[in-house]
Amino acid sequence: MSTALDLARPPRRVVSLVPSLTEAIAAARPDVLVGATQWCTHPGDLDVVRVRGTKNPDRKAIVGLRPDLVIANKEENRELDVTRLRAAGVPVWVTVIETVPQALDSLERLFTEALEAPVPDWLDAARALWTGPLPDVTATAAVPIWRDPWRVVGRSTFTGDLLRRTGIANAFAEHPGRYPHMALEEIDRPNVDVILLPDEPYVFTESDGPEAFHRGPTRLVNGRLITWYGPSLLPAHDMLRQLMATL
């Protein structure tokens, strides 16, 4: 859930430190966005002040923007930065998201409680697509997010829940770590039906990634569509449905 805040009025100046939420706000309330990280790449024409990255935001620059609200996420941003921004008198709305329903509910609260704005049509459409009974599992996937050393998507992640809602089980869903380091042979094993190679945070490409795997097929996928929550949930549904048809 999001951290509760008592705002005197709807924010008119918002800085987002979360690419997914930057895109979500820009799609519905672009007028309030004044700052975002360098990793906030959507929409492509976003014209706001850049405040460095998600893990090393320029706190002085953020305070200088005089925001009514900063948007952060427990996983993507550091507690230290949240604490120091609050100490500087800046309200910070922190989201905690590990499942698709959590993402949908958090987005609704962000719009209705923090921004005091209507729920966007795309959010209602995403809820219709992504909630309901879980389908049967028809494939098992491993999702590396880094190489040398290799790391994969593990337990309690938005990505793992998203895949499960399309009938794809995460091969490392029961691992105690959320993004554990794994030996290559533990990823490239017979009971993994497909290895999904996203283009973020590590940029896997045709010549960098697939050559490492020999037991199962690989698929290069748009990382935004399996890790971001917001308007991307709509094309994500189409992409994963098409992927399932190939397995």
Task: With respect to residue 37, please indicate whether it lies within any of the assigned structural domains.
Answer: yes
Q: Of how many residues is the chain composed? A: 247
The stretch 181-210 carries a mean pLDDT of: 96
- Residues 6 or more apart whose CB falls under 8 angstroms from that of 44 comprise none
pLDDT for the residue numbered 247? 84
Number of Cβ within 10 Å of residue 199's Cβ equals: 15
- pTM for this structure? 0.92
How many structural domains does the chain have? 2
Together in a domain, 18 and 122: yes
Domain that holds residue 84: 14-129
Encode pLDDT of 3-45 as tens digits.
567 677 889 999 999 999 999 999 999 999 999 999 999 999 9
Together in a domain, 152 and 122: no
pLDDT for the residue numbered 216? 85
pLDDT for the residue numbered 1? 45
Do residues 29 and 63 make contact, with C-beta atoms less than 8 angstroms apart?
A: no
pLDDT for the residue numbered 230? 93
Number of Cβ within 10 Å of residue 88's Cβ equals: 11
Question: Which has the closest alpha carbon to 241: 130, 155, 104, 131?
Answer: 130
Statement: residue 192 has pLDDT above 60 = yes
Domain with residue 229: its CATH number is 3.40.50.1980
Q: How far apart are CA 228 and CA 247, in angstroms?
A: 23
Residue type at 17? Answer: L
Number of Cβ within 10 Å of residue 36's Cβ equals: 25
Task: With respect to residue 134, please indicate whether it lies within any of the assigned structural domains.
Answer: no
Residue type at 186? Answer: E
Together in a domain, 36 and 76: yes
The stretch 202-220 carries a mean pLDDT of: 96
Task: With respect to residue 4, please indicate whether it lies within any of the assigned structural domains.
Answer: no
Task: With respect to residue 159, please indicate whether it lies within any of the assigned structural domains.
Answer: yes
